Amino acid sequence: MADHVERAGPVVRRGPGLHSVSGGDYEARGVSKSFGGVTVLHDVSVHFCRGEIHSLIGENGAGKSTLLKILAGMLTADYGELVLNGKLLSALSPREAQRSGVYLVPQEPRLMPDLSVAENLYLGALPKGRFSAVAWRQIIDTTEELITSVGLRADPRLPAGRLSLAQQQLLECARALSHGCGTIFFDEPTSPLTARDAERLFELMWQMRDQRLTLGFISHRLDEIEAVSDRITVLRDGAVVARAERGTWTRENLVTAMIGRKLTITRRTRRTAEPGTIMLDVDELVAPPEVNGMSVRVRAGEVVGLAGLVGSGRTEFAETVFGIRRPASGSVRVNGRDVTGASPRKCIDAGLIYLAEDRGRNGIFADVDIARNATSAIVGRLPRVAGPFVRTRKEQEIAQAAVLEMDVRASSIVAAIKTLSGGNQQKALLARWMLAKPLVAIFDEPTRGVDIGAKESIYSIIDTLAAAGLAALVISSELEELVRICDRVYTVYEGRVAGELAGDAVTLEALGQLAVGALWRRQGTRSRCLPPGASCTCHRGGPCCCAAARSW
Amino acid sequence: MPAWGTCLVIAIVAELVYFTLTTRQFAGHGTGMLDLTEQFAPTGVLALGLAMVILTGNIDLSCGANASLAAVIAGTVLSKGGDPVLAIVAAIAVSTLFGLFNGFIVAFIGIDSLLVTLATQFIVTSIATSVAGASPPFGFPSAFQLIGQGSVNDVPIALLIFLVIALLVIVGVGYTSLGRSLTLIGYNPRAALYSGIAIRGSLTAVFTLCGAMSGVAGVLLAAYYNSAQPDIGTDLLLPAITAVILGGVDIFGGRGLMGEVVLAVFLLGFLSQGMLIEGDSSLSITMITGLVLIGALVIKVVFERNFRERMTARMQSLQTLRPFRPPQGISEDADG
Amino acid sequence: MPPRWALLLRRREILVTAVIVIVVAGSTAAHPYFWSSGNLAFIFADSVVITFLALGESFVMIGRGIDLSVGAIMGLSAIVVGFRIQNDGMSLLPAVLLGAAVGIVLGLGNGLLVGVVRLPPIIATLGTLSVYSGLEFVVTNGNQVDTIPSSITNLGSHTVLPGVPVILLLTVPFVLVSAWVLRYTTFGRSIYAVGDDAEAAYRAGIGVQRVLFLTYVISGLFAGLGGVAFLIYTSGASSTTGINDNLTAIAAAIIGGTALTGGVGGAFGALAGSVFLTVTLTAMSFAHVSDVWQPAGVGVLVLLAVVYDSRARAGGRRRSASRQRGVR
């Protein structure tokens, strides 16, 4: 990462007509938050000071994003206090937060696609000129100044929907400034950015820091965190476990704090049976821009993991395999059958199923009863009577049996699935997919938003299924999960398989270093270094790494 | 509030009682009510086809015009001396083709169904007017007229046809793969995609079916009125949509029972017939229909919202900021 | 950054105007009478009613709504105002005000249902369409409006300049005012915001329900004015006036660049779309295409506009999943 150098450049300007603003002194005290029985934050206290870039680090699910959302008024904490400049904030809404000078640049920028860049900046606060008419000339001019000062080069009259993701993010920053916000939080801004775009963002952040603004920052990449932060707070499982100021941390300390020493890591499931034939054979699958040539093989009875950072393209890979996205090149074979680019229906009929990541959007039919949810993938294969007519009683029995087998706790099978807890919903979805009698299953974040009890349940389900011969591919950002249930783990980086860990090499340390980005360094688009024990894949066209295996 | 179907039944009974008591000709000799159903059977058939489309979250504004076209074609074939069976087949075939056209554009080209059927409605209207010509056909063989005006043991044939179709639709939507797919697509198109449901095929099928039912409605109309004016079916669009919405089908798709749509058809049908017999004009009937639609929906929405608001209020009160409370038993930060 | 004029060229109104010019040129080449004061005046006068309806409809559609009752509102306004002119000898200015008032009151009905009760617009306006159509019959009570003094109807046929009927001059100010409101007032811009992303607009502090309510009132207002225009142009009104104009108004707005999904469109688009429809339909009759095919012509034009739109928008436009929902 480039060194921090004093940058001379255009001063970051606030919007016209707004009172001058400096960063706020923002403190969260004892904040706790639960979602449906799952504790996401527990008694978290963090202090964001003026003129500082304060980073939050931790694994996925550690609660960083939730904390920022609470600070910006998008969520309400169950317990705790928010103190801005000495004043206690109550009933914070996003609008209130903005008025108090707090702005959250979200992970996915949310702009109005058809309105111009300039109008997006001044949404809800258009300055007026003569005759109370909107002063477009003035707006466009100041917009140009403002966006140039944040490093965004775009025509202010362009519809915001045409900007690239990186540009949209910069626009969000400009919005924060135009609203006179002095306390700006960034939620994982760099995941989808290229090295150059990230660099630009950091320059902007340093400028803002020098203007005595208050900045909060979340990232998965330790090298970025180390280069950019003045202060670091480490979260783990919803609690603050470490704080450090610039100059007092080491990479090892941070990594250890993030992963922690788990006493309860259960012994890895030892599979006695030898894995069988190759059930899923993906060869050099390409679906730009996220999937850039991935090859994966899963055998019957094996549980294989896909590990990687957020944005590494694993979900896009799964969607391409399953037929939601079109592949540009490569091949997919299920039990020998070619299903490259085939529709989801054809994949399911060939024996491949996909438990999607976002179950609210892509998984459940929220208002439909559990039974119908369970049979939605086998609508064509239900028992019939007198021709095409489904025997609903039989269908319910089938659904009931499947749901019980997956240990779904529900009052009744005809209740709407949205009444179930997250864990039970997930198990109901598992019931749906198992009814399709798959040979290969891709599980994408199978325990996200699921409580501990249901997690164990799901792990044992996956174990049982593998023992019965299912070939399972598990995409997960939870390291314990992968260590616990996988026989083999592929590591994925920027749409390519960067390495493979097998058997006893699948350890928490090895995966942990990957997950916290300890090893990935940005150098253009090349990645370097693999954890000890990982096998190199450059002979298969993956990024070259052999020469410089680092030892920690 | 009791189930929507129950409300509909209560309303039907109430209006039947009201009309029987206030208007002599309504009940006739007991069978008068049955005869009235001939009038709204075509609307009912149209409403059923439309209901299936709306179930998927789409809409078909062209079904009324499609019915007109079917009527005109049937009439034209008959007036050229054709066999009634041929006339019926030709009419339904053409309207089915237009349904297929709609379905293809919506499912495969991906244009919003509101816009597509808006456009096809115009096109079909023109074709119907053109085919009907300067003097639209009328005066059909009595065998054909029986469909719309005849009865079997006092039960009108038109009503029988409607009930048969209603049964097919109720069973079809509730008990076939296609029916299941339609409802799932309506509830959550993305989840339907991930579940492997054939979205394009299902959508094309449902629009085609709607086209076919428009054809049946058109044939019934031509038989009942014994003539085929090119706008004979266009007036049915409004009452048909009203029946579907009144029947509890969610305009955004997913929710809705075909049986309740049938009840709504009867509710609205008897309402308009009763008012006609009382001497109200057809346009004030349209007005009352509109008021019934709005009124029923307002009641439904307000009630549901009250319920939902009470629930969200309860949820929110559980989530408000509470004063600082020391945590239970957890020690300070672990070593860094 | 591309120069100002290049951006202008990509705007739909300019495109439509260009096509209008082509159609006019083509028709004149085949039928010289096409380009005559009488014919052009006729075309403009013919388009006035739809222009008013499309103007109002544009306001609603930009906010991602739809108003299926504009034709009926126009009809009711024409009837009410017509009777006052015919029976009580009302003069032009009070007539216009009365028409506007009728439109506003009827538009209020829509606004309440959509903005306050929050019914889906397609159902709400379908209901009011039924109610207002029925009211048309009730108000006429079997009579018709058939006698409008020539002092008023002349506005429809007399021309101020060759080819420009007086009635067009009455329309243009409304188009200009609408364009101004949509571009230069906070209210106007908030309609675009609500249409593009209502939730984000709400979080930005815009009163979404209030904005929606007002768009329907405005739609009613313009439909009411359209009724007066109808009287001027056709000098008569009956219980069936306007029933078929709802969808034509929507078609004009769509062709002019306003999309059902909201966030785009404008007043000039409504004018351009309406004139375009009239020009094309007139050209069709000049080409001896029977009047029967006029609706088909409108249908085909709408399909073309929509296909062009989706093709044009598919390139480089990010839309969140929630926007896939239709307008209902």
Least Cα distance to C34 among C283, C249, C310, C303 occurs for C283
The tens digit of pLDDT for each residue in B215-257 reads: 999 999 999 999 898 988 888 988 999 999 999 898 888 999 9
**Measured distance CA(C306)–CA(B113) in Å, rounded:** 11
* pLDDT in the model for residue B312: 58
**Measured distance CA(A10)–CA(A150) in Å, rounded:** 9
Sorted by sequence, the CB contacts under 8 Å of residue A264 that are 6+ apart come out as none
CB-based contact C120:C244 (threshold 8 Å): no
* pLDDT in the model for residue B10: 92
For residue A66, which phi and psi values (nearest 5 degrees)? Answer: -60, -40
pTM for this entry: 0.84
CB-based contact A517:A221 (threshold 8 Å): yes
Query: Which chain B residue has the Cα nearest residue C239?
Result: B283
Chain C residues within 8 A of B126 when measuring between CB atoms: 292-297, 299
B289 close contact with C: CB closer than 8 A: yes
By Cβ distance, the residue of A76, A366, A376 closest to B195 is: A376
The alpha-carbon gap from B29 to the nearest alpha carbon of chain C, in Å, equals: 31
pLDDT at B24 over 80: no
Tokens of C91: 């003069």
Backbone dihedral region for residue C200 (phi beyond 0: left; psi -120 to 50: alpha; all else: beta) = alpha
Paired residues of A280 in beta bridges: A298, A334
Neighbours of A438 (CB within 10 A): 23
Residues C135-150 have a mean pLDDT of 80
By Cβ distance, the residue of A240, A376, A388 closest to B184 is: A376
Is the model more confident about C313 or about A472? A472
Least Cα distance to A194 among A311, A359, A46, A358 occurs for A311
Tokens of A333: 């074979």
* pLDDT in the model for residue B28: 66
Q: Give percent of chain C with pLDDT exceeding 90.
A: 37
Is the model more confident about C86 or about C76? C76
Least Cα distance to A83 among B333, B317, B321, B327 occurs for B321
Least Cα distance to C276 among C46, C56, C70, C34 occurs for C46
Paired residues of A490 in beta bridges: A306, A500
Number of H-type helices and E-type strands within chain C: 14, 2
**Stretch among A306-315, B75-84, B171-180, C293-302 having the lowest mean pLDDT:** A306-315
Chain B residues within 8 A of C252 when measuring between CB atoms: none
Chain C residues within 8 A of A119 when measuring between CB atoms: 189, 192-193
B324 close contact with A: CB closer than 8 A: yes
- Where residue C169 falls among pLDDT bands split at 50, 70, 90? confident
Contact at CB, A114 and C196, closer than 8 angstroms: yes
**Measured distance CA(B232)–CA(B220) in Å, rounded:** 11
Q: Give me the sheet containing A291-299, strands edge to edge.
A: A291-299, A278-287, A329-334, A337-338
* pLDDT in the model for residue A271: 65
Contact at CB, B126 and C122, closer than 8 angstroms: no
B301 close contact with C: CB closer than 8 A: yes
Contact at CB, A345 and B198, closer than 8 angstroms: yes
Alpha helices in chain B (DSSP H): 4-22, 24-27, 32-55, 63-79, 84-104, 113-132, 142-149, 157-175, 177-187, 189-194, 199-225, 237-246, 258-278, 282-317
Residues B140-149 have a mean pLDDT of 85
- What angle is formed at CA C286 by the lines to CA C283 and CA C288, rounded to 5 degrees? 120
Neighbours of C21 (CB within 10 A): 11
Residues C253-280 have a mean pLDDT of 90
For residue A104, which phi and psi values (nearest 5 degrees)? Answer: -115, 120
Is the model more confident about C194 or about A162? C194
At residue C251, what is the residue type?
A
- Kindly list the distances between the CA atom of residue A402 and the CA atoms of A13, A25, A370, A433, C69, in Å, as whole numbers in the listed order: 61, 54, 11, 10, 51
**DSSP structure class, residue A480:** H
User: What is this model's ipTM?
Assistant: 0.83
Chain B residues within 8 A of A372 when measuring between CB atoms: 180, 184
Tokens of A395: 């269908």
pLDDT along chain A (552 residues), means of 10: 35 39 84 82 92 86 85 88 88 83 85 90 82 86 86 86 84 85 88 77 88 88 84 89 86 76 54 78 90 92 86 88 93 93 94 92 92 92 86 90 89 86 90 94 89 83 91 87 88 82 78 58 39 48 38 20
The tens digit of pLDDT for each residue in A381-420 reads: 888 888 888 888 899 999 999 999 998 888 888 888 988 8
Question: In whole numbers, what is the pLDDT of chain C averaged over residues?
Answer: 84
B330 close contact with A: CB closer than 8 A: yes
pLDDT at B123 over 90: yes
Sorted by sequence, the CB contacts under 8 Å of residue A546 that are 6+ apart come out as A536, A538
Chain A residues within 8 A of C193 when measuring between CB atoms: 112, 115, 119, 123-124
Specify the length of chain C in residues.
Answer: 328
**Stretch among B299-313, C64-78, C184-198 having the lowest mean pLDDT:** B299-313
Rg (chain B; Cα; Å) = 24
Contact at CB, A343 and B196, closer than 8 angstroms: yes
CB-based contact B48:B165 (threshold 8 Å): yes
Contact at CB, C196 and A133, closer than 8 angstroms: no
**DSSP structure class, residue C323:** G
**Stretch among A464-473, C161-170, C258-267 having the lowest mean pLDDT:** C161-170
**Given CA atoms A363, A367, A371, A376 in this order, what sign does their dihedral have?**
negative
* pLDDT in the model for residue A10: 33
pLDDT at C303 over 60: yes
Q: Does residue C301 sit in helix, strand or coil? A: helix
Query: Which chain B residue has the Cα nearest residue C307?
Result: B111
* pLDDT in the model for residue A550: 29
**Measured distance CA(B131)–CA(A450) in Å, rounded:** 63
Q: Does residue A353 sit in helix, strand or coil? A: strand
Residues B115-125 have a mean pLDDT of 92
What spatial distance separates the first Cα and last Cα of chain A, rounded to whole Å?
A: 19
- Evaluate the omega torsion of the peptide bond into residue B136 and state whether it is cis, within 30 degrees of 0: no
For helices A508-515 and A251-259, angle between their N-to-C axes, nearest 10 degrees: 110
CB-based contact A442:A318 (threshold 8 Å): yes
Paired residues of A355 in beta bridges: A443
B304 close contact with C: CB closer than 8 A: no
By Cβ distance, the residue of C7, C185, C203 closest to A134 is: C185
Least Cα distance to A395 among A381, A406, A411 occurs for A381
* pLDDT in the model for residue A391: 87
* pLDDT in the model for residue A1: 35
Query: Which chain A residue has the Cα nearest residue B327?
Result: A43
Q: Give percent of chain B with pLDDT exceeding 70.
A: 89
By Cβ distance, the residue of C128, C134, C307 closest to B111 is: C307
Query: Which chain B residue has the Cα nearest residue C290?
Result: B130
- Where residue B266 falls among pLDDT bands split at 50, 70, 90? very high
**Measured distance CA(A122)–CA(C275) in Å, rounded:** 35
Tokens of A512: 């942990």
Contact at CB, B122 and C324, closer than 8 angstroms: no
CB-based contact A173:A105 (threshold 8 Å): yes
Is the model more confident about C302 or about A494? C302
Residues C18-41 have a mean pLDDT of 84
Contact at CB, B119 and C293, closer than 8 angstroms: no
* pLDDT in the model for residue C5: 63
**Measured distance CA(A107)–CA(A96) in Å, rounded:** 21
The alpha-carbon gap from A310 to the nearest alpha carbon of chain B, in Å, equals: 22
Chain C residues within 8 A of A155 when measuring between CB atoms: 1-2
Pairing relationship of beta strands A488-493 and A303-308 according to DSSP bridges: parallel
Concatenating the DSSP letter of every residue in A174-186 gives HHHHHTT--EEEE
The tens digit of pLDDT for each residue in C197-212 reads: 888 888 788 889 999 9
Sorted by sequence, the CB contacts under 8 Å of residue B287 that are 6+ apart come out as C130, C131, C132, C133, C134, C135, C137, C138
B116 close contact with C: CB closer than 8 A: yes
Concatenating the DSSP letter of every residue in A436-452 gives T--SEEEEESTTTT--H
